[in-house]
Amino acid sequence: MAPWLAQALPPAVVLVSTLAALVIFVAGEAHQRLRIWVNLIAATIKLLLVVWIGLAVLAGNTFMFRFELLPGLELILHADALSILFASLSAVLWLVTTVYAIAYLERSPNRARFFGFFSLCVSATMGIAMAGNLMTLFIFYELLTLTTWPLVVHNGTPEALAAGRSYLRYTLTGGVVLLVAMAWLYGLAGNVEFTPGGFLAPLVAEHRIALSVIFAMLVAGFGIKAALIPLHGWLPKAMVAPAPVSALLHAVAVVKAGAFGIIRTVEDVYGLELVAELGMRIPLIAVAAWTIIIGSLLALREHELKRRLAYSTVSQVSYIVLGIAVGGLLATSGGMVHLVHQGLMKVTLFFCAGIYGLLLGVSRIDQLDGLGRRMPWVSTAFTIAALGMIGVPPVVGFVSKWYLASGALAADVPWVVGVLIASALLNAAYFLPLIRRLWLTEGGALAEMPIEIGALSRLALVASAVATAALTVVLGMLAAHPLSPLSWVLEIASGYAPW
C-alpha cells in the first residue's frame, strides 16, 4: 500500500462524516433530499473505507497518521485490529441508524441540526476508534461529549434540557478527571503510543502509587461514559432524546467510547499484568460486577420502556469492562466481542422502542400489551434482541457470555460466573415480561396515533430494526466463521492475553 494512503486513510475515515456534517449544516433545513443523500453516501463511503482498512490490516498493512499537536504531544490516528473492531461497528450501525433516523424524524423540525451533529458524533467516535495514543483518544472523547450534547437536548423540552445538563455535568467532570490523569501520566511517561501490553511497566518500581491513582482516575473518567455505577446517573435521563439518539448513545458512540477507553487503558497503556500487579484488577472486576448486578436491579424497577433499556445498558456495557479486567484469551475476547454484540442488540431494542413510541405513542411497559400482533416484525426484532440480552443462544449475547464465563473460570475468578448468571437471571426478569406482554397479553384499547409518516419511512424504520436483529442472529449463528467479530476478537485478544 502506498505510504501516503497508509497515512491518509485513518484521518479520511474520521473526516468523511465531518465533511457530511459541514454540508448538512451549510445546506440548512430546507434541502431535505440533499441531506438524505449526503447522509447515506457518507455513511456508505465510511463503511467501505473501514472495510478497506480492515482488509488491509488483515493483510498486514499498517496505517499511521501523525500530527504534532503540541511539542511532544502528537495526534496519532492508526488502525490496529481493535480500532477496526470498533470502527466497523460504528460504521455499520451508523449506516443503519442513519436510515432509521431519516425515517424517524421525517416530519420533525431542526433536522439539519440533528443530522449535522449526528455526523459529527460519528466522526468523534471514529476518532476514538482510530486513536493511537491517549491524548488523541481524549481529544475525540471530549469532542464526542460536545457533539452528543446537542442530540441529547434536541427536543428542547425542560426534561431534555435537564437531561442535557446532567449529561454535561457527568461527562465534563469525567473529562476533567481524565485531563488531570493524563497530564500526570504524560509527565511521568512522556508521549507514548498505545502499545499492546502497555508501556508503563518500567515505571512501576518508582511510581507505584502514582500509577495506581492515575489508573483509577482514567477508569473513572472513562467509566462515566461507560456508565459504571455510581457514575451512571446521566444515562437514564438521556432517554428523553429521540430514539435514534438513544440508539446511538447506547450502542455505538457514547457508552462504547467509555468502554473502549477502558479497554485501551487496560490493554494498551498499562497492560493487564501491570494492572494486576498494582492491585487494581480485582477492584476493577468488582466494580464491573457490581455495575452489572445493580444496573439490572435498577432496570427491574423501571416502568418506562426506554429507561429500562437504559439501565440494561448500564449493566451490559460493564460486561466489556469485566471481560477486559478478568483477562486471559477467553474473557478478553468475551469482553471485546461484547462491544459489538451489545451494540447490535441494544440498537435493535432502541429502534423498536422508538418505533413503538413514534407510531403508537407507547412509552410505558404496560402499554406493550398485544403489540406483537399489531407489529409482528418489530416485535420479533425486539424479542430476538431481548433474548440475546438474556444470553439465549444462538443470539450473539450468548457468545459473549460463553466466553466471559469460561474465561472467568480459566482466569481463576469463579465468582464472576455467579455474577454473570445472576445478571442473566435478572435480564430475564426484566426482559421476559416485556416479551410476554408483546405476544401473550391481549392488547389494551390503545388507539393508534395519527401516523404522520409515509409508507417508505415506515418501511425504513422497520427494516432497520429487522436488519440489526437479523444481524444479531446471523452473527451468533456464524460466530465461528473466520470473518465474524468473534474470530476477529480472538485474534486481537491473543495479542493481549497475559495469562
Partner 1 sequence: MSGEVVFVLAAAAIFGLGVHGLLTAGHIMRKLLALNLMLSAVFLLLIVVPARIDGLPDPVPQALVLTGIVIAVSTTAFALALMVRLFRRQGHAAIHPDVDPRMLGHVTGRTSAGPQEEHDRGSGSR
Partner 2 sequence: MNPAVLLVGLVFIPLVAALVAVILPVRFRRPVALLGALAWPLLLVPLSIAVARDQTLTLVFGGWTPPLGIGWRLDALGLVLLWVHALAGIAALPGAWHRFGPKVVAAAPFWPLWLILSTGVNAALLAADLFNLYVSLELTTLAAVALIATDDGIAALTAAMRYLLLGVLGSLMYVLGVGLVYAQTGSLAMDQADAAAIRDVALVLMLTGLMVKAAIFPLHVWLPHAYGNAPGPVAAIMSAVVGKVALVALWRIWFQTAADPPDLLADLLGLVGAVAIVYGALAAYMQPRLKMVIAWSSISQFGFLMLLLPLASQTAFQGAGFHLLAHGLAKAAMFLAAANIVTVLGSDSIRHLPGLDKRMPLEAFTLALGGVTLIGLPPSGGFTGKWMLLTAAWEQQGWFWLVLIALSGLMSAAYVFRILALTCFHPARRAVHELHARPPKITSLAALLLALLAVIIGLYPHPALELLGRGLPGGAS
Partner 3 sequence: MVTLLANGLPVLAPIVVAALLARPGRIRAAAIAAAPWLPLLLFFPLLLHRPSALSFALLELRLGADPVSAPLIVLCGVAWSLAGWFAAARVRRDRVLFWSGWLISLAGIALALLAQDVAGFYAGYSALSLASWLLIIHARSEAARRAGRVYLVLALVGEMAVFAGIVAIASEAGNAVLAELVDGTCAAPGWHWLILAGFAVKMGILPLHLWLPLAHPVAPVPASAILSGVIVKAGLLGWLRLVPPGAGGSELFGPALLALGMLTAFAGVALGLAQRRVKVVLAYSTISQMGLVLAAYAALLMAPASFEALLPWLGVLILHHGLNKAALFLACGCAPGRSVLRGVLVALPALAIAAAPLTTGMLAKTGLKAMLGEAGVGYGWTLVLSLSSTATALLLWHFWRLVRQEREYRTAHPAWVAMTVAGLILPWAWAVTHGLDLHLAGALWPAAWPLALAAALIASRRLLAPKLEIDVPAGDLVVVLEKAAAGLGAATRRIAGSGHFQIPNLYPVHVRLTRALLWLERKMTSLPVAGLLILGLGGLLWLVARLADF
- Count of residues engaged in binding partner 3, rule: CB under 8 A: 35
Residue 60 touching partner 1 (CB under 8 A): no
Q: Looking at 478, 491, 495, 498, which residue binds partner 3 (CB under 8 A)? A: 478
- By the rule CB under 8 A, 173 interacts with partner 2: yes
| Cα–Cα distance for residue pair 151/153, rounded to 1 Å | 5
Give which of partner 2, partner 1, partner 3, none residue 209 binds (C-beta under 5 to 8 Å, depending on kind). Answer: none
| H/E stretch holding 70 | strand 63-70
Residues 160-219 that bind partner 1 (CB under 8 A): 161-162
Could you give the CA distance from residue 468 to residue 87 in angstroms, rounded to a whole number?
17
b/e for 116-138, b at 16 or more Cβ within 10 A? bbbbbbbbbbbbbbbbbbbbbbb
**Residue that has been written with the C-alpha cell 420479533 in this structure:** 380
Is residue 229 within 8 A of residue 308, CB to CB? The reply is no
- Say whether 177 sits in a helix, a strand or coil: helix
Q: What x/- string results for residues 111 through 130 when contact with partner 2 is judged by CB under 8 A? A: --x-----------------
CA distance 52 to 46: 10
Provide the minimum distance between the beta carbon of 92 and partner 1 in the complex, in angstroms, as a whole number: 38
| Residue closer to partner 1 (CB basis): 160 or 272 | 160
315: closest CA among 201, 438, 397? 397
Binding region for partner 3 (CB under 8 A) out of 123-131, 184-192, 258-266, 431-439: 431-439
DSSP state of 310: H
Q: Per-residue contact track with partner 3, 241 to 260, x per CB under 8 A? A: --------------------
Q: In whole angstroms, what is the distance from residue 85 CA to residue 82 CA?
A: 5
Q: How many residues sit close enough to partner 2 to count as binding (CB under 8 A)?
A: 37
**Contact range with partner 2 by CB under 8 A, out of 62-70, 266-274, 276-284, 407-415:** 62-70
Block residue for cell numbers 461484547: 338
For residue 179, give the C-alpha cell.
485531563
Provide, rounded to whole angstroms, the least separation between the CB of residue 236 and partner 1: 20
**With binding defined as CB under 8 A, does residue 489 bind partner 3?**
no
Over the range 39-60, which residues count as b (16 or more CB within 10 Å of their CB) and which as e?
beebbebbbebbeebbebbeee
State which residue, 153 or 274, has the beta carbon closest to partner 2: 153
- The angle subtended at Cα 333 by Cα 327 and Cα 337, nearest 5°, is 135
Question: Is 76 a binder of partner 2 (CB under 8 A)?
Answer: no
Nearest residue (CB) to partner 1, 6 versus 152: 152
Kindly tell me which of 279 and 376 has the beta carbon lying closer to partner 3.
376
Do residues 348 and 468 lie in contact, with contact meaning Cβ atoms separated by under 8 Å? Answer: yes
Q: Which of 276, 417, 446, 470 binds partner 3 (CB under 8 A)?
A: 417
Distance CA 143, CA 187 (A): 23
Residue 162 interacting with partner 3 (CB under 8 A): no
Q: Is 158 in the site for partner 1 (CB under 8 A)?
A: yes
Positions in the binding site for partner 3 (CB under 8 A): 330, 376, 380, 387, 391-394, 398-399, 401-402, 405-410, 417-418, 421, 424-425, 428, 432, 436, 439-440, 476-482
Positions in the binding site for partner 2 (CB under 8 A): 28-29, 68-71, 73, 75, 113, 138-139, 142-143, 145-146, 149-150, 153-154, 156-157, 160-161, 164-165, 168, 172-173, 175-177, 179-180, 183-184, 186-187
